[in-house]
Amino acid sequence: MMIVGIGLALIAGSLVGLQNIFNSKVNEQAGSWSTTTLVLGLGFLASVIIGVLFEGKQLFVLDNMKMWYWFSGVIGIGVVTCNVQAIKLLGPTFAISIILTSQLVFALLWDSLGWLGLEKVPFSFKQLVGVLVIVGGVFVFKWSERMGNESQRTVYKQSRKNVIAEK
Amino acid sequence: MKGSLFAFLGGAFITLQGVANSRISQDIGTWQTATITQLTGFIAALTVLLFLRNKGWKKFGEVKPLYLIGGGFGALVIFGNIMAIHFVGVTLTVSAMLIAQLTLTFLIDSNGWFGMEKKKMKLPQFIGIAMMIAGVIILRF
């Protein structure tokens, strides 16, 4: 189960990477809200198709729904708003480093507290060290990327100046 | 400061999304969760979009068709995310997803795939990825 779980996470993560690149190309032309709407709409369609293939009519049996389940999708609005604003204000390198770090910190918090009735993974010193090493890796990676692209940095600064000038 | 707060909340929301989906799937099933969460997200995003003056969707035609279908991956991402959280917990799932995501982006950038500007990769970037993998090994053993 351990290997299956990590394997699934690796596949999901790769698809997120690919999706980010595709979506950023749509974003350049159509803006973030049109892109988000398209992305979620297609994700919904794909889920319905795959769901019906695997489960047939069972997909539409929703006996144990609780009220808040209908609103879980709205979290996505928070994700898009915060991330778009963060990248606009901080630039991609710094923003993405903080976003990834925060994701990991909350993951650790969630596992240790077992909120929402998920299985608790007891907090240990080892886990904290693991997360800190990963966060260190994220910063080394993101910052070396930025150092390697001085020209892009200039372009970013320039476009940022333009944005400020437009305001 | 405002930017950092947005980034911090943005990361928190991403994790929350995975956790909420994982919780909901215990009650209604995995594909049901992927379907509902994206349907309600779609409706919410469409609502925001309708209030914007500059909608931008007319520009979809100017994007290469391949790039428009990225959203379809969302079904598999949510499925993988939910199952992984059930199997190995949130921390390990998020860590493995980040490593795969950054490594793939790195490969695409260094090879210039999908019309991305080719970037030269340097030693510190390999060190960064190695550190992230080392971190996951520490988490696990």
Q: What is the token pair recorded at A3?
A: 């290997």
Work out the minimum CA distance from B110 to partner chain A, whole angstroms.
Answer: 11
Instruction: For the beta carbon of residue A113, count every other beta carbon within 10 angstroms.
Output: 12
pLDDT at A133: 94
Asked if A118 lies within 8 A of B44 by C-beta distance, the reply is no
Q: Where are the domains of chain A?
A: 1-61, 62-167
Work out the minimum CA distance from A52 to partner chain B, whole angstroms.
Answer: 9
Q: Would you say A65 and B28 are in contact if contact means Cβ atoms under 8 Å apart?
A: yes
Among A43, A110, A134, the residue with its CB nearest the CB of B19 is A110
Q: Give per-residue pLDDT as tens, A16-57.
A: 989 888 888 898 888 888 999 999 999 999 999 999 999 998
- ipTM computed for the complex: 0.91
Interface of A with B in 48-77 (CB under 8 A): 48, 50-51, 54-55, 58-59, 62-66, 69-77
Give the confidence band of A158 by pLDDT, cuts at 50, 70, 90.
low
pLDDT at B100: 93
Residues of chain B short of pLDDT 70, as ranges, are: none
Produce one character per residue of B100-132: b if its CB has 16 or more CB atoms within 10 Å, e if not. Answer: bbbbbbbebbeeeeeeeeebebeeebeebbebb
> What is the arithmetic mean of pLDDT over A58-83?
88
Beta strands in chain A (DSSP E): none
Asked if A59 lies within 8 A of B14 by C-beta distance, the reply is no
Whole-number Cα distances in Å, B97 to A13, A43, A73: 4, 18, 20
Give the confidence band of A84 by pLDDT, cuts at 50, 70, 90.
confident
pLDDT at A42: 95
Alpha helices in chain B (DSSP H): 2-28, 30-51, 65-68, 73-88, 90-111, 123-140
Q: Would you say B13 and B5 are in contact if contact means Cβ atoms under 8 Å apart?
A: no
For A122, phi then psi, to 5°, come to -55, 135
> What is the arithmetic mean of pLDDT over A135-143?
89
Asked if A142 lies within 8 A of B28 by C-beta distance, the reply is no
Q: What is the token pair recorded at A146?
A: 């930025």
Q: Where are the domains of chain B?
A: 11-87, 89-141
Average pLDDT for chain A: 85
Task: Report the alpha-carbon distance of residue B68 to residue B72 in Å, rounded.
Answer: 9
Task: Report the alpha-carbon distance of residue B38 to residue A46 in Å, rounded.
Answer: 10
Half-sphere exposure of A27 (CA within 13 A, CB side): 13
Q: Would you say A92 and A24 are in contact if contact means Cβ atoms under 8 Å apart?
A: no
pLDDT at B85: 93
Q: Within chain B, how many helices (H) and strands (E) appear?
A: 6, 0
Q: Would you say B136 and A134 are in contact if contact means Cβ atoms under 8 Å apart?
A: yes
Asked if A86 lies within 8 A of B6 by C-beta distance, the reply is yes
| Residue A132 pLDDT greater than 80, yes or no | yes
A154 CB near a chain B CB, below 8 Å?
no
Angle of CA points A149, A137, B79, to nearest 5°: 100
Give the confidence band of A137 by pLDDT, cuts at 50, 70, 90.
very high
